[in-house]
Structure 1
Amino acid sequence: MKLHREALTPQMQEYDRFFDHGDMNYQPYLMYFHQQGFRSPTVNSDRSGFRLSVGPDGERASVAGHVPPGPVRLITGGSTALGIGATGDEHTLASLLWRRYAPSGPWLNFAGRCYNSTQELLLFTLYRHLLPEIDEIVIFSGLNNLTVGRLPEWQQGDHGAFWFCGEYFTAMDELRERNRKTSKVFGRRSDRARTSRVATFDDVRRDIGQVIDSAAELTLRHLETWRRLAGPNTRISYVLQPMFLWMGKSCSPEEKLLFEEIDRISKLGTWEELYGDISTPDVARRFAEALQAGCEKRHVRFHDLNPVAAATMTGNDWIFVDRAHYTDKGYDVVAGLLAETLGLS
């Protein structure tokens, strides 16, 4: 029997190919990025892995490809900013802003799938040299810092945990073992004690207040650096992304089928089991309050788009392909709200 995902959102199979771990674009410093030079009817990337955006006359642009004369504008963040769920490059937030809602200048897609705020900042640091003057940066993010903020304390380090960091720690432990020297003490080998580095669901951080505080602290620390790197003439806005459960939206018939199916076939567990404790409107509100206060001090504009989006959508509106990513209609609605809320033209 055909899955609802295949029938309702066939484009998601192209995203599966785009993010195939067997073809992962492993990167120094960033850990991973999108496939380079990927081509499909749904998603396309340039020589470095940045997704293409589409302008009013069909002009295509990307960070490591064709860059229109400056100044340019960037939208960055995680997979929702990247446009997972859109049926084509022209339906992402960057393209919709450029083509329809804020067409006075080109918008480039600067997002990275599964990126936390550390990786978002590093991406900008590593590829800023490819761009002309930048007059606007919109950071459309938030969910990833909270989700990886629940990972075990020993995975957090100085710069926060990141998606797939278990694979990193496993590989580094194997490398350490291969290079570890043993010594002989009075004719006996002395091996260093080995500790397990495999995280389990029991290791997840349960203090949600702590998760919110650490996610906000990390985000604001990186926004401070964004502000300094971008320069005084670049306007920076941080937008807390609308997420299905944060908005308190009721399910459309399509969303209900898709969500139930995703929970049923997930090998890791249901969304509620994995992320239920950070998916409430109250958590979004507390996180937004912490971010807003810090953004004001750093001269970064802040907007929580969840209540704004919730006020414009009904239960009959099919907005989400899963609880975090949008349909074409969802991206169109959110792009319009972004332009209106941020005063973009």
Structure 2
Amino acid sequence: MALHRDELTPQLQEYARFDDRGEARYLPYLMYFHRADYRSEVINTDRAGFRLSVGPDGETASAAGHIPRSGPVRVISGSSTVMGIGATSDAHTLASRLWSRHAPAAPWLNFGGRCYNSTQELLLFTLHRHLLPEIDEVVVFSGLNDLTVGRLPEWQQGDHGAFWFCGEYFEKMEELRAENRRAARKSGFRSGPRRPTISTHDDVRRDIAQVVDAAATLTLRHLESWRLLAPTARLTYVLQPMALWMRERHAPQEQVLFDEIDRISKLGTWEALYGDISTPAVAAAFAEKLRQGCEKLGIGFVDLNPVVAAAVTEKDWIYVDRAHYTDEGYDLVAKVMADTLGLS
């Protein structure tokens, strides 16, 4: 049976190839990042895995590739929405729409990382800061992943928060410990019991107020470090627009896609998996904690959910799934963000 997804959003097939777990690129410190020097009509990356941004004359730029102009650059950081899942080409990501149309004063570099949390977003910038010239603008466009992984059990959180696929990491580390225990027993040493590794849906944290508080605390800690790493830049945190945070009724194409994703998902429906963090009330609580913290730190903050909601109708198709946008969605969000933040 043909899928509506393949008809309405055929570009997602290329993202699936790009994100093939059999070709996953595991890195020290970051855990994982995009495939490097990837080439296709939909998505292209540089030697380090950063997606290319496209400027007003079709010129391209990336953190570990070519930066076409002298002078300062601008950085937009985040997870897969900043990376641009759903865009039909590199020219339609947030970074590209800002550079090519809505805030073209300087090149925008795409620091989006697929499945990243705020810790990994900060680390990605930290490890590649030496490649960049002066920076005059940093936008951290994020939030959803931090709440999502914030629901993972306490034993996976550590001091820096849980991350996507961390169960696989713990499982492999436990296998390594088991090998070492076998060697230790041969030498007469006693080993401790096997530790839990992979969590289940029953293990997630249900105290959503605690999840919101922990995610906000981690994010604000990381924003302090962003400020130190980019002292000449204006730093703004933008809480990303997410379909269920933004509006209750969706465009017809969106509803078809959302229903189909729920039907074919092997893990369960969105409501079963993430419904408790997907309400406007949770988004508002998260936004308020971030707003208060950013104000104390002297960092700009914008919750873009109500702003984008006011700019669209129920007929406007801007999502390919609940977190990622269509080309029209990326352009609209870039424009609204540029206007709201006063980018030039």
TM-score range, shorter chain: over 0.9
For residue 88 of structure 1, what is the aligned residue in structure 2? 89
Does the alignment pair 1:182 with 2:222? no
Alignment gaps of 5+ in structure 2: none
For residue 31 of structure 1, what is the aligned residue in structure 2? 31
Matched length: 341
For residue 254 of structure 1, what is the aligned residue in structure 2? 253
Question: Would you say the 8 A contact 2:168–2:198 is kept in 1?
Answer: no
Does the alignment pair 1:271 with 2:270? yes
For residue 77 of structure 2, what is the aligned residue in structure 1? 76
The superposition leaves residues 275-297 of structure 1 with CA deviations (integer Å, 9 ceiling, x where unpaired) of: 00000000000000000111111
The normalised TM-score by structure 1 is 0.97
Hey, what's the Cα distance between the residues in 1 that align with 2:275 and 2:75?
A: 31
Amino acid at match of 1:312: A
Question: Would you say the 8 A contact 1:227–1:298 is kept in 2?
Answer: no
Question: Would you say the 8 A contact 2:147–2:211 is kept in 1?
Answer: yes
For residue 132 of structure 1, what is the aligned residue in structure 2? 133
The superposition leaves residues 258-277 of structure 1 with CA deviations (integer Å, 9 ceiling, x where unpaired) of: 00000000000000000000
Question: Would you say the 8 A contact 2:38–2:45 is kept in 1?
Answer: yes
For residue 283 of structure 1, what is the aligned residue in structure 2? 282
For residue 21 of structure 1, what is the aligned residue in structure 2? 21
Does the alignment pair 1:198 with 2:198? yes
Ranges of 4+ aligned residues in structure 1 off by more than 4 Å: none
Amino acid at match of 2:117: N
Does the alignment pair 1:331 with 2:334? no
Question: Would you say the 8 A contact 1:75–1:107 is kept in 2?
Answer: yes
- Following superposition, the deviation at residue 193 of structure 1 comes to 2.1
Question: Would you say the 8 A contact 2:56–2:104 is kept in 1?
Answer: yes
Paired residues for 1:98-247 under 5 Å: 98-180=99-181, 181-182=184-185, 190-231=190-231, 233-247=232-246
Amino acid at match of 1:182: R
Please provide the CA RMSD for this pair: 1.2
Hey, what's the Cα distance between the residues in 1 that align with 2:220 and 2:311?
A: 29
For residue 310 of structure 1, what is the aligned residue in structure 2? 309
- Following superposition, the deviation at residue 191 of structure 1 comes to 4.7
Hey, what's the Cα distance between the residues in 2 that align with 1:101 and 1:75?
A: 14
Cα separation, partners in 2 of 1:110 and 1:196, compared to 1, 3 Å: closer
Question: Would you say the 8 A contact 1:134–1:234 is kept in 2?
Answer: yes
Hey, what's the Cα distance between the residues in 2 that align with 1:198 and 1:80?
A: 26
Hey, what's the Cα distance between the residues in 2 that align with 1:196 and 1:62?
A: 40
Hey, what's the Cα distance between the residues in 1 that align with 2:169 and 2:158?
A: 13
Cα separation, partners in 2 of 1:184 and 1:98, compared to 1, 3 Å: closer
Query: What secondary structure does 1:311 align onto?
Result: helix
Amino acid at match of 1:335: A
- Following superposition, the deviation at residue 256 of structure 1 comes to 1.1
The superposition leaves residues 11-58 of structure 1 with CA deviations (integer Å, 9 ceiling, x where unpaired) of: 001100111111111110000000000011111000000000000000
Hey, what's the Cα distance between the residues in 2 that align with 1:196 and 1:303?
A: 39
Cα separation, partners in 2 of 1:323 and 1:190, compared to 1, 3 Å: same
Hey, what's the Cα distance between the residues in 2 that align with 1:190 and 1:237?
A: 52
The superposition leaves residues 161-184 of structure 1 with CA deviations (integer Å, 9 ceiling, x where unpaired) of: 000000000000001111121168
Hey, what's the Cα distance between the residues in 2 that align with 1:293 and 1:177?
A: 46
